[in-house]
Amino acid sequence: MLDTIVEAVEHRTPEGIAAAISRLIRTGALNAGDRLPTVRDVASRLGVSPATVSSAWQALSGVGLITSRGRAGSFVLQATAPWMPPHFGELAGSHVVARLDLSTGTPDPALLPDLSAALTKLPTRADTASYLSSPVLPELERHLRASWPYPVGSLTIVDGALDAVSRSLETLVRFGDRVVVENPGFPPFLDLLEHLGVERIPVELDGEGMRPDQLARALLLNPVAIILQPRAHNPSGISMTAGRMRELARVLRAHEHLGDPVIIEDDHSGEISSSPSQSLGAWLPQRTLHIRSYAKSHGPDLRIAALGGPEPLIDRIVARRMLGPGWTSRMLQTILYQLLTASVSVNAVHDARRIYQARQRMLSEALVRNGLPHTPSDGINTWIPVADEKAAIVTLAASGIRVAAGSTFAMAPGGGQFLRVTAGRVGEDFELVGGLLAAAALASPR
């Protein structure tokens, strides 16, 4: 193993050594559970100081690739849980605790509304009058319809945004079909499409969202569906403008003679987005499925989202769910309704939206002050271009900061090198974090 490591090292610096070990782990040359050579042995063979190798080991430990077991030595970690789908697993990483973990893509727990008042409204027994009752609480449906971005034919409740996307795709696509996706995009979408045997057609983004010219070219390939994120796009933090929505609607209408792909909109961060609600359903209601999730605003563990669209499509999704979970617990629906209507929780989400917007602005300003051009993003994530992705991750790990690799979100090769940073998790030290991120963006293996 020592020979393998020495041969793989191209640059005899902490970053270069760590990058070489990382490549060996990711290519399978080093496996989970393998014991690494001692720091002194590696240093001796490379002709560097033990401190140089020790710094590399610390960086690798910081990003969860290896672990130290004291006198027993350092060992390669299992990169992801074996039950994780591959692309989802890359996003999940190894769950190693960092001083500041900006890789999660999850909300700040301190900004989630308190559930105490909502829990008092629950029935004392988890009972239901019939397995065939309506899957949506009537009062919740009325509230959702009043705030939906367009008059929608039918609404149902499902177990989170990804469940809604999965149910929609399973209803629409068959093996060998084509689906348009944003590039970059959300890694679990790749897992879903690969599981269904679907070919993806990546469409690039600009500062306003999905590019109309590239969508027009993609439509020539007759896709059956289009997946897009209208607000607080993950990973980029872009929210589509009203003008961009109109352009996309115009492109879709102009290509209706080629087919009528169903649009699946994942509005996963709508309640904490600082941008107005947008939907292609305002122009194309008969072919739009719009998803509104409450994980980012009210708590990921609630596992609840609303799915709206034309009645024939929603009916098919509801019918299929009757042969599985049946419905989303009406107790959870009661909690959601209370959270969406009680003034204390409404105010808490409003405050969270304001705080996330301020955090995005302050981090962006710190990046700019430290020499990295940047525009504030929407929601909780932001997208930072870097000179070398691996060098940037290792550099930040050495400072105790963990981020997500941009390559995990790539739907097509050759899209440049980036980091996804959960800016919403930065609650203080904006200048320090911004300086470290800016320096990492410029880092490259020497």
**What is the DSSP code string of 201-252?**
EEEEEETTEE-HHHHHHHHTT--SEEEE--SS-TTT-----HHHHHHHHHHH
Work out whether strand 401-402 and strand 100-101 pair parallel, antiparallel, or are unpaired.
parallel
* DSSP string across 19-51: HHHHHHHHHTSS-TTPBPPPHHHHHHHHTS-HH
Instruction: Check residue 79 and give its pLDDT.
Output: 56
Instruction: Check residue 97 and give its pLDDT.
Output: 56
What is the C-alpha to C-alpha distance for residues 404 and 301, in angstroms, rounded to an integer?
22
What is the C-alpha to C-alpha distance for residues 220 and 410, in angstroms, rounded to an integer?
22
What is the C-alpha to C-alpha distance for residues 437 and 102, in angstroms, rounded to an integer?
11
What is the C-alpha to C-alpha distance for residues 131 and 134, in angstroms, rounded to an integer?
9
Instruction: Check residue 433 and give its pLDDT.
Output: 97
The closest of 284, 294, 285, 280 to 152, measured between CA atoms, is 285
What is the C-alpha to C-alpha distance for residues 375 and 384, in angstroms, rounded to an integer?
10
Instruction: Check residue 23 and give its pLDDT.
Output: 80
Specify the DSSP class assigned to residue 277.
Answer: P
Instruction: Check residue 120 and give its pLDDT.
Output: 94
* Chain position carrying tokens 């629906």: 333
What is the C-alpha to C-alpha distance for residues 301 and 54, in angstroms, rounded to an integer?
39
Instruction: Check residue 110 and give its pLDDT.
Output: 97
Instruction: Check residue 203 and give its pLDDT.
Output: 97
Chain centroid to Cα 268, Å, comes to 9
Contacts of 280 (CB under 8 A, 6+ apart): 245, 248, 249, 252, 263, 265, 288
* Chain position carrying tokens 């909780």: 380
**Helix, strand, coil share (%) of the chain residues, nearest 5:** 45, 15, 40
Chain centroid to Cα 227, Å, comes to 14
- Per DSSP, the three-state class of 420 is strand
Tokens for 264?
């699946």
What distance, in Å, lies between the first and last C-alpha atoms of the chain?
23
What is the C-alpha to C-alpha distance for residues 437 and 103, in angstroms, rounded to an integer?
13
Specify the DSSP class assigned to residue 399.
Answer: T
Q: The pTM is what?
A: 0.84
* DSSP string across 244-273: HHHHHHHHHHHTGGG--PEEEEEETTGGG-
Tokens for 311?
């009645």
What is the C-alpha to C-alpha distance for residues 97 and 100, in angstroms, rounded to an integer?
8
Instruction: Check residue 335 and give its pLDDT.
Output: 97
Phi, psi of 344, rounded to the nearest 5 degrees: -65, -40
Other beta carbons within 10 Å of 73 = 14
C-alpha to C-alpha distances, 225 to 35, 189, 285, 289, nearest whole angstrom: 47, 13, 14, 10
Give just the sign of the alpha carbon dihedral 32, 38, 39, 42: negative
The closest of 240, 176, 177, 228 to 202, measured between CA atoms, is 228
Tens-digit pLDDT string for the chain (446 aa): 888 899 999 889 888 898 888 888 877 788 878 889 999 999 999 999 999 999 888 888 766 788 877 777 888 876 556 666 766 666 665 445 578 999 999 999 999 999 999 999 998 888 887 888 889 999 999 999 999 999 999 999 999 999 999 999 999 999 999 999 999 999 999 999 999 999 999 999 999 999 999 999 999 999 999 999 999 999 999 999 999 999 999 999 999 888 899 999 999 999 999 999 999 999 999 999 999 999 999 999 999 999 999 999 999 999 999 999 999 999 999 999 999 999 999 999 999 999 999 999 999 999 999 999 999 999 999 999 999 988 898 889 888 899 999 988 998 877 789 999 999 999 999 999 999 999 999 987 65
**Alpha-carbon torsion, ordered 166, 172, 175, 177, to 10 deg:** -110
Instruction: Check residue 92 and give its pLDDT.
Output: 63
